Structure 1
Amino acid sequence: MTDGSETAPENQYTKLRWLLTIAGLIFYVVDIWTDVLLALKYFQEKHFVWTGLTLMFVLAGLLVTQIFSYAWYSGDMNDPEEKENVPRMSRGGFAALHVFGMGIFTRYYHLLKQGFKVVWTSNSSSDEEKKAVHHKLFCLAADLSMLKLFESFIESVPQLLLQLYIVMGRTECSVMQCLSMVFSFFNVAWALVDYRRCLRRSLPQTTEMPSGLPTAVYLFYKLCTITSHILSCTLLLILSTYSTIVFTILWLLGTIWAHSLKTNFCSSRGLEFLYRAVIGVILTFTFFNVKGQNTRAEMIIYYLIHSYINMSALILLALFKPELMLSMFLLTVIGLIVGCSVLGLVFLVLYYLFLHPKETEPRVSDEVDGPGNNTRTKTNKRISNFIQP
């Protein structure tokens, strides 16, 4: 068989999944290159502040993902169970690749190479062996999807906010700005769905998120709430650049909350603090379950604050810059904020009431390996301790 058809369909790393991995790589590369080209355009136009900010977000995303990618490789090399999943290379070689920003590309290459052997070549392995191989591929994909999620919220989302602020301030939009925003948006959408599906397929105690309606509703919930919030933040920036203080406070609150939950995602204290800071950035724009606990109350409070900020942006715009309310472009933005806010909350309720997959067994986020729990590899533990959708 070419794709392990004896394995349950939801647990297969299929040819389609392999091709979608290539699509994700393309989105990632194009997103970065459009931002770099846009920065060069700003530089040629002598907009040096915009150049610096555009490149800063690109470099921030690269830096954070390289740090975590190298740390995971380094940790896995010391684990007998995980060492076989690491490409054969010296620690110095890995360090050099990550210094030059090639960590994610290395992971893509390794995943595509291993996946090709499974889905495009014949093999005579037993069902149990095939199941283990497919699970290993989803663990590799989950590591990659976690890094992509980091990158999308550290680079793509802030980039969207910055470019929208520039476009609204100039009331004109160049082709390169459009391309940058479009691919940033697609990169975020892809990262959200890919992470969601890879996470659930790599954790045995959770059921797979069905494709089709549940995936679509989850994606619309995330994209609508994130879009409305980004547009609202853009309006606040147009009103005053001092609004960045508010964003900083929101980031600090998210970081402090992650710290108060005593997350245990990383193997070192320094990396754990960095992880919590990144979680703070993510929570500035959307809600995730930080430690796999029941967070219904926290989610309600979060989206009440979220909605308050969105509505406040519209009210403040009407009070302090009513002349902007006459602009057709800004009227469209206001309509999007209201529409996406309402639709996002509707999709959120629909998803968590009717479509959210249930765990097949209780999840203990702080579970420690023991004699009877030797199936949980370091990758499993890393994934299970990551933020949950």
Structure 2
Amino acid sequence: MVETQEFFPFGCLLKYLFTLLGLVLFLLDIALDIQTVVLFYQDGSYVYMAVMIFLLLGSSVLLQVFSWIWYSDSVGKIETKVEKFADKHLLIKPFHFLQLGVCLRFAGVIETSTVDFIRRIKNFRNGVRHSVREDGKLKYDFLMLRLFEAFSENIPQLTLILSRILQRGELELIAGLKILTAASAIIFNVALYHQGMHVHGSKGCKMSSISTGVYFLWNLLLIIPRVTALALFCSVLPCFIIAHFLSLWMLLVLVAWSQKTDHMKSPGWEWLYRAAVGLIWYFSWFNVSKKGSIKVKMAIYCSLMALDTTMLLGFWCWKVFEYAGCWSSLNPYVVTSTLLGLNAIGILVKIIYYRWFHPKLPEPSEGVQFRQAVKYDADSTDSTDSTDSFPENIAAAPAQPLTGVLKRSSTMFANFYF
């Protein structure tokens, strides 16, 4: 277990506030989901209501399945009191059956953050330099679940609501609030995932808030035109959006299979993971394997997505020119050029990030130490803002096969850094 030295816990305070903000957004998003479904029902938009309910239930079931599988792999590694209580009284399975498994994980994260924050404040009030021990073996599963939620629920909902607004030409208060909360959830989960990938104490892979900001910026600049293009296409050709999604999604799942991903315990569940990866790729880039050159993979992916987005905008322009009276408020030339311009800027910022802000690999002489450190960190530490070096004896950590949460967290680190 790695220990860090600190006086006033500024980093811990920010992390604690960030965790509380995530909880507020999570609860607010649930409330607005219900309000949005009611709004669709009251307006007679039954198709939109059905799609909204499908997205909510589909995303929830997907997250509960992953959460349950990962809890099953983590027997003996549950650390928080609330999760231990649920495990002791055989409540983990009922919680997931009732679609509350993610809530249980959120409760564990809140408990860990609160205990750690209170402990550090006490140390500061006592005026002593104290070693803070970080735990969080199951945190990486939570990060992945939140990332899945952003791309299986928040972004599809954002696309659906934008499509409805474009068709009706008006913005209701509930729909506007839902757009804001969905966008905030996307921002939060993407930034949280990036910060979570900070290997504690790695002198070879230091990460700053600026790095997280640039990482989020290129994601935002690429997601905005992608979601807008999908919404515009859906608003004029709603029946074809399903065929578009299924055809491209199945192709992306096959690409994930070709990358020989190894994130789950069994080959059967690995296909579910690949299906989720294909869903993420439908909207944004996410590295899942060290196989092949990451530069080549990103170049192919960005080219494919840029071509697909251009095609979606082309179909929208065709329908606008055909029925110009319905779209008099939108200039196709301005909209298309703006979205494609944002996409080009996003690709440029992405190149800048990977060139100057992405955590650098250690020197060749430190390669072995870094790989062992990643495994060690996945086994025993939580992500922090510390930039201290690893303990000297970390290089001597025994290499052994990893399973369960240790394997998943190690895979996440390796795919992100390499």
TM-score calculated relative to the size of structure 1: 0.86
- 5+ residue gaps in structure 1? none
- CA positional deviation for 1:325: 6.1
- CA positional deviation for 1:202: 5.9
Whichever residue aligns with residue 306 of structure 1, its letter is M
User: Quick one: distance in 2 between partners of 1:128 and 1:207?
Assistant: 25
Check if 1:119 corresponds to 2:113: no
- Listed as ranges, the matches of 1:323-342 within 5 Å are 323=324, 326-328=328-330, 333-334=335-336, 336-342=338-344
User: Quick one: distance in 2 between partners of 1:116 and 1:19?
Assistant: 10
Aligned equivalent of 1:176: 174
Aligned equivalent of 2:391: none
Rate the CA distance shift 1:215–1:51 in 2: closer, same or farther, 3 A: same
Whichever residue aligns with residue 398 of structure 2, its letter is G
1:238 partner SS: helix
Deviates more, 1:236-245 or 1:195-204: 195-204
Aligned equivalent of 1:382: 408
Whichever residue aligns with residue 223 of structure 1, its letter is L
- CA positional deviation for 1:29: 1.9
Aligned equivalent of 1:355: 357
Aligned equivalent of 2:216, options 211, 216, 219: 219
- CA positional deviation for 1:364: 7.0
Rate the CA distance shift 1:364–1:173 in 2: closer, same or farther, 3 A: same
User: Quick one: distance in 1 between partners of 2:253 and 2:228?
Assistant: 23
- 5+ residue gaps in structure 2? 380-395
Rate the CA distance shift 1:64–1:329 in 2: closer, same or farther, 3 A: farther
Whichever residue aligns with residue 346 of structure 1, its letter is L
Identical aligned residues as a percent: 23
Aligned equivalent of 2:228: 231
Aligned equivalent of 1:304: 303
2:99 partner SS: coil
Aligned equivalent of 1:187: 185
Aligned equivalent of 2:98: 100
**1:224-272 C-alpha deviation (Å, 9 max, x unpaired):** 1011111111222234221321221111111111112221111123321
2:264 partner SS: coil
Aligned equivalent of 2:5: 6
User: Quick one: distance in 1 between partners of 2:200 and 2:100?
Assistant: 24
Check if 1:21 corresponds to 2:49: no
Q: Number of residue pairs matched?
A: 376
Rate the CA distance shift 1:383–1:330 in 2: closer, same or farther, 3 A: farther
**1:89-113 C-alpha deviation (Å, 9 max, x unpaired):** 2373101111222222211222222
Deviates more, 1:159-168 or 1:313-322: 313-322
Whichever residue aligns with residue 106 of structure 1, its letter is L
Whichever residue aligns with residue 216 of structure 1, its letter is G
TM-score calculated relative to the size of structure 2: 0.80
User: Quick one: distance in 2 between partners of 1:191 and 1:332?
Assistant: 31
Whichever residue aligns with residue 44 of structure 1, its letter is Q
2:262 partner SS: coil
Aligned equivalent of 2:68: 70
Aligned equivalent of 2:348, options 332, 346, 356: 346
User: Quick one: distance in 2 between partners of 1:309 and 1:172?
Assistant: 28
Aligned equivalent of 1:87, options 74, 79, 84: 84
Whichever residue aligns with residue 237 of structure 1, its letter is C
User: Quick one: distance in 2 between partners of 1:298 and 1:206?
Assistant: 24
User: Quick one: distance in 1 between partners of 2:109 and 2:164?
Assistant: 38
1:71 partner SS: helix
Whichever residue aligns with residue 357 of structure 2, its letter is L
Rate the CA distance shift 1:318–1:118 in 2: closer, same or farther, 3 A: closer
Check if 1:163 corresponds to 2:191: no
User: Quick one: distance in 2 between partners of 1:218 and 1:264?
Assistant: 25
User: Quick one: distance in 2 between partners of 1:95 and 1:319?
Assistant: 51
Aligned equivalent of 2:273: 275
Q: For CA contacts below 8 A with separation 6 or more, give which structure has more relative contact order.
A: 2
- CA positional deviation for 1:300: 0.4
Alpha carbons 1:200, 1:206 under 8 Å: kept: no
Q: In angstroms, what is the RMSD of aligned CA positions?
A: 3.3
Rate the CA distance shift 1:159–1:127 in 2: closer, same or farther, 3 A: same
Deviates more, 1:145-154 or 1:83-92: 83-92
Aligned equivalent of 2:283, options 276, 282, 285: 285
